[in-house]
Amino acid sequence: MDLQTILSKYPPQPQYLIEMLIDVDDATEQHYVSEDELRTIAAYVGVRDSQVYSVMSFYTMLSTTPRGKYVIQVCKDVPCYLNDDFNVLKTIQDELAIGIGDTTPDQLFSLELTACIGCCDEAPAMRVNHETYTNLSDEKVRSILESYRSGLL
């Protein structure tokens, strides 16, 4: 879906900003909002670029730089931490051979941290694009990654 089609779904008002940004982010395999798109969106809803950038930089689900096809976000908040989310993180880093904030050379995966995603009762948790995975163990993480790699998910 191109930018104009997305914008035309919403009235030109700042309260629809986040919905628009998520749609734009989803509309590309690179999961990001480009500088030009950001400026167009700001002008459309009648706020400054700085205000849109401020909103985008606050929410981990949004990005202003290109990311992989699958954006993995590991929860970094306390309940997940207490349930050893660092092991989850380490497994992913080892499996994909990338660090936090990086994208694999084949542009398939990006690895990021996120604030609480509301799965504290089943910590540790992570999100891949819009899908949430909980009660993570080493094996579970590996099999999830494998499913994405092989195109099953």
Partner 1 sequence: MIHCRINNIDVVAEEGTTILEAARKFNINIPTLCHYPDLHINSDCRICVVEIDGWRGLKTSCSTPIKDGMVIKTNSPKVLNARKTITELILSNHDANCTACVRNMSCELQGLAKLLGIDENRFENVLERRPLDLLNPSLARNPNRCIKCGRCVDVCASVQGMHVLERMGRGHNMDIAPAFFQPLDDTFCTFCGQCANVCPVGAITERDNTDQVWTKLHDPTKHVLVQIAPAVRVSIGEEVGYKKGLISNGKLVSAMKHLGFNHVYDTNFTADLTIMEEGTELIHRIQTGGVLPLMTSCCPGWINMAEQEYPEVLPHISSCKSPQQMFGALAKTYYADKIGMDPDDIFVVSVMPCTAKKYEATREEFKADGRNSDVDVVITTRELGKMFRQMGIDFDKIEEQDFDNPFGITTGAAALFGATGGVTEAALRTVYEIVNNKPLEDIVFKDVRGLKGIKEATVELGGQPIKVAVSHSLANARELMEDVVAGTSPYTFIEIMACPGGCIGGGGQPYGTDNKMREERIESTYIVDGNMVYRKSHDNPSIQALYKEYLEKPNSHLAHELLHTTYAARNL
Q: Is 34 in the site for partner 1 (CB under 8 A)?
A: no
**Distance of closest approach, residue 141 Cβ to partner 1, in angstroms:** 25
Q: Which position among 12, 19, 46, 48 is part of the footprint of partner 1 (CB under 8 A)?
A: 48
**Distance of closest approach, residue 47 Cβ to partner 1, in angstroms:** 7
Q: Is 113 in the site for partner 1 (CB under 8 A)?
A: no
Nearest CA to 149 out of 112, 108, 110 is that of: 108
**Distance of closest approach, residue 144 Cβ to partner 1, in angstroms:** 27
Q: Is 35 in the site for partner 1 (CB under 8 A)?
A: yes
Tokens representing 55 are: 């909103």
Q: Which position among 5, 13, 54, 135 is part of the footprint of partner 1 (CB under 8 A)?
A: 54
Q: Which position among 28, 64, 93, 107 is part of the footprint of partner 1 (CB under 8 A)?
A: 64
Q: Which position among 115, 131, 147, 153 is part of the footprint of partner 1 (CB under 8 A)?
A: 115
Question: Which residues here bind partner 1, judged by CB under 8 A?
Answer: 35, 38, 47-54, 57-58, 64, 115
